[in-house]
Amino acid sequence: MAVNSPNSPRQKMINLMYLVFIAMLALNVSAEVLDGFELMEDGLANSSNVSLQRNILLMDALASYNEQNPEKAGSWYNKGMEVRRMSDSLFRYIETLKLKMVKKADGKKANLGNIRHKDDLNAASEVMLSPVSGEGRHLRLAVDSFRDTLSHLVTDENRRKIINSGLSTQPSSRRGKQYLNWEQSLFEQMPVAAAVALLTKLQNDVRSAEGETLAHLLNSVDVGDFRINQINAYVIPESNIVIQGGTYKARIVLSAEDSTSHPNIFVNGNFLDPESNGIFSASAGTIGSHSIQGYVELPRADGSVLRRDFSNSYTVIEPIATVAPTLMNVLYAGIENEIGISVPGIAPQDISATMTNGSLVRKGNMWSAKPLKVGQNAVIFITAKTGDQIRQLAKKEFRVRALPDPAPYIEYTDANGNPAMFKGGELPKSVLMNADGVRAAIDDGILNIPFRVLGFRTVFFDAMGNAIPEVSNGNRFSDRQKEQFRRLSPGKYFYISGVRAVGPDGIEREISVIEVRVN
């Protein structure tokens, strides 16, 4: 009787080809994800420009104080100019690194604003991690030097923590992998579009740290000799990220500020500590929209109190670090396939999705897709609510396949008391005698789906080589089969064949044979 042994040369070759195929799939990143990095990069660049304008206002205030009283404000102004010089230098250096990456991917005529090879996985590593000319170590040292200089200038502990956290160069883990250094954790095997977005975020962090330092220097000036009322214009956008075809909305306000007066601020029913300098922070734990409501009280000169209410909201989204192999766009018919749907800048509750050739339902933060017909593709349409509009953002097509055949096995308990699966080969007779029957499941590292065994037969051989079949009409060994087990001596073997199993798709199938050698 021919037996399909899992240890045969043919099966080993199939397993090797499968591993190579999976490795090739991991290198494919979807165009939608790369476009998402481009949107994120644009939003970060816009935020960096807003921070730059704020920092210019802070330096203008320092310059004004210096003109009025250089004896008291001169040293703080000079420190501010040094911070500004270092920040601009580091910002420009990071900009040159972005251009180097894009040129490495697109050639000498590369355009940073229009990256053609966004999915290039080598450009960032070659520029930043090359043992000979790698810029990653130089960038890390430059960030460390900038951060340490700012930390020595800032005596406010809260601002110092913000600076140290924003410019930290500690290596982070990605997909569970630990890295030796900061630059490796950011740029190893990173698509060029994502690497450029990361460097833009670093530029944004540099501007933010510059702003925290300049604000501290400004607050450090003794302004008792000159009262200055500051009137500034601010742009408050609904979002710094706007989806193509959407509408950018922002509120333009004129703000009058008095640095010598500290109002009482109440946010969501709680008093905001005056030492926070009006900065409200909340842990972004739950995904979705969150509201901010409260009021500000400012004492008037006549002893009365001016009160102004305020309200706003913010949205917490999942981190945009997605690996989506484009060749694995497969759904299995008859079962619930778990998929993730997210749109950068859009709260999960504002995202809707529908599906052809099946049903699609939301389950918490995930979705469950259950296609119907095998061989007919299923298309998922994604829409999102942005402001007062509901827009279709994308669609994704999936191939629909039938579930693959499961593998039969005998379940038993190993020496450590853990459940184990026997799929063929040698098996101690004591383990065989304690086994209940035959089970089946798909357990290949991608799918983990149990099947129900309807029946099977065991085939033994007598001394003359005649086959002795015994049939079980369920998944348990019959008494006659157990009796045959007791008669087996070490070295003897038998087969479990004709295993009939049905899965969650309702399809009954006959699956592979198990060879059992008793030892």
The fold of the 329-401 domain, in CATH, is Immunoglobulin-like (2.60.40)
Residue the block writes with tokens 């045959």? 484
Q: In this predicted structure, what is the pLDDT of residue 314? A: 65
Q: Closest Cα to residue 40, out of 209, 198, 183?
A: 198
Q: In this predicted structure, what is the pLDDT of residue 106? A: 87
At 493, give phi and psi (nearest 5°). -140, 160
DSSP-derived letter for residue 326 is G
Q: Which residues of the chain are modeled with pLDDT < 50?
A: 1-7, 14-15, 17-29, 223-229, 301, 319-327
Cα 122 to Cα 100: distance, rounded to the nearest angstrom: 12
Amino acid at 228: I
Look up residue 487 and give its two tokens. 């008669």
Q: Closest Cα to residue 513, out of 469, 462, 482, 483?
A: 469
Cα 348 to Cα 284: distance, rounded to the nearest angstrom: 14
At 402, give phi and psi (nearest 5°). -75, 155
DSSP-derived letter for residue 121 is S
Cα 60 to Cα 52: distance, rounded to the nearest angstrom: 12
Look up residue 419 and give its two tokens. 């459940």
Cα 302 to Cα 275: distance, rounded to the nearest angstrom: 26
Q: What's the whole-model pTM score? A: 0.40
Angle at 410 between CA 517 and CA 424, to 5 degrees: 35
Look up residue 367 and give its two tokens. 């979705």
Q: In this predicted structure, what is the pLDDT of residue 499? A: 97
DSSP-derived letter for residue 378 is E
Burial of 406 (0-12, 13-18, 19+ CB in 10 A): buried
Q: In this predicted structure, what is the pLDDT of residue 508? A: 94
Look up residue 64 and give its two tokens. 């004004």
> Helix (H, G, I), strand (E, B), or coil: what is residue 491?
coil
Look up residue 365 and give its two tokens. 């933060």
Q: In this predicted structure, what is the pLDDT of residue 211? A: 93
Q: Closest Cα to residue 92, out of 237, 206, 227?
A: 206
Q: Within 10 Å of residue 81's Cβ, how many Cβ atoms?
A: 14
Q: In this predicted structure, what is the pLDDT of residue 433? A: 92
